[in-house]
Amino acid sequence: MDSRRGRSIEVDFFRGIVLIVIVLDHIPGSTLSHLMLHAYALCDSAEVFVFLGGYASAAAYTAVLASRGEHAAKMRFVKRCWEIYRAYLLTAILTLVSGAVLALLHLNRPMVELTGWPPFAIQPLRQALDIALLRRQPYLSSVLPMYVIFALCVPFAVPLARRSWLSALILSVVIWAFARPLAALFSIDDVADWAFNPFAWQLMFVLGILCRVQPIGERFHASRTAHWLTRAAVVAVLSFAIVKLFVLTQPLPGALKQNLSVDRVINFVVIAWVAAQFVRMGSIAWLAQRLPAVVTVGRTGLVCFVTGTLVSLIVDTATPHTFHGFRGVLIGLGGDLVAIGAVLMIARGWNDWKGHQPGAAANGAGYG
């Protein structure tokens, strides 16, 4: 990826794919979700999403820094923090309203429980306060609170990474190593409350920042060492896939994902290295140019994430769960296609609307 460009079509493409996958992964009856990353690796789309978030944030910060100065770059991410917080509240409200409607109509009881509506109905004021203070996040909104924290940290993390990649990496690894006691100190160590420990997941975000501001040079990529690393990474990816498919066949404890276990980090890093080689060869750009609708999803990330919550809830409720075997696979596939189509249309509609807004060209370098 060329660090000199305002945006990277490869990053937007990957983000678009990940946002679609997130929607599919949260449709219990999905057929395509069985073919996604989590089925063949110990990591999943969450690592990719957070990593790309760090990359895109570093790109946005450096772009504003170069054109308008340090103060403007810092204020951009203060504003971004508020935008993400509002998106979090909207996602939480949409999730709770969806749960209330489903409960009223006596539909999809498992999804009603997931939305968090039952406890909210019992203690609405207490639950609303907990949600506003980030102590409890309904369903899919759970990933956004840590992005609020990350947005505030960008003006400190990016300059540090630009000055010394080693210092930034060491600091991030130390925080990740002490993630559990830090979470306990701030009372966010309960999976039911914080699905993602921000002290752990900042490592993925920082890795994304480092890849943007301190990219590996082409000279190293062309070296014999890099070729051996690529071969080792391919072997590692295949080994992790075999372990996932034939050894760890049962769902793993949620705490491993919440606290970003070391095996998830290693699995992601080797996958990312292999993916980077396809980027270098131009394969991802070639694919992205032929799937512009997916790129548009990546460029309207926050909107697609929020609305994707509703899409997954609606599709799951509308999809019959009484069929099994081949018929069940076809019904699940039909629901998947409807969900993908809905996300693509939302992204296109929002992109077209934003394109007609005053100042759209000036804000084009920002990452949504």
**365 part of a folded domain:** no
Which domain range does residue 86 map to?
A: 9-355
* Residues 151, 131: Cα–Cα separation, whole Å: 19
CA dist., res. 139 & res. 120, Å (int): 13
Is 92 domain-assigned?
A: yes
List, as own/partner pairs, every contact residues 103-112 make where C-beta atoms lie below 8 angstroms and the sequence separation is at least 24, other chains included. 107/317, 108/316, 108/317, 110/28, 111/28, 111/313, 111/316, 111/317
Q: What is the pLDDT of residue 274?
A: 96
Q: What is the pLDDT of residue 268?
A: 97
What is the crossing angle of helices 45-68 and 144-163, to 10°?
50
Return the structure tokens found at 104.
Answer: 């009223």
The residue assigned the tokens 């372990």 is 243
Question: Is 368 inside any structural domain?
Answer: no
> What pLDDT shows up at residue 361?
39
Please report where in the chains the tokens 């693509």 appear, as a residue: 344
Residue 363 inside a domain? The answer is no
Position 321 scores a pLDDT of: 74
pLDDT of residue 260: 95
Q: Would residue 4 count as lying in a domain?
A: no
Q: Is residue 55 part of a domain?
A: yes
pLDDT of residue 6: 54
Q: Is residue 2 domain-resident? A: no
Q: How far apart are CA 255 and CA 47, in angstroms?
A: 15
Residues 6+ apart with CB under 8 A from 325: none
pLDDT along the chain (368 residues), means of 10: 61 95 90 91 94 94 93 93 94 92 89 90 92 85 90 95 96 96 75 79 97 92 94 97 90 87 96 95 95 95 90 88 81 94 95 70 40
Q: Is the dihedral of CA 79, 80, 83, 84 positive or negative?
A: negative
Distance CA(54)–CA(135), nearest Å, equals: 24
- The answer to whether position 37 is within a domain reads yes
- Phi and psi at 147, nearest 5°, equal -70, -30
Domain total for the chain? 1
Q: Are 99 and 112 contacting, i.e. CB atoms less than 8 angstroms apart?
A: yes
Distance CA 305, CA 19 (A): 6
What 3-state DSSP class applies to 135?
coil
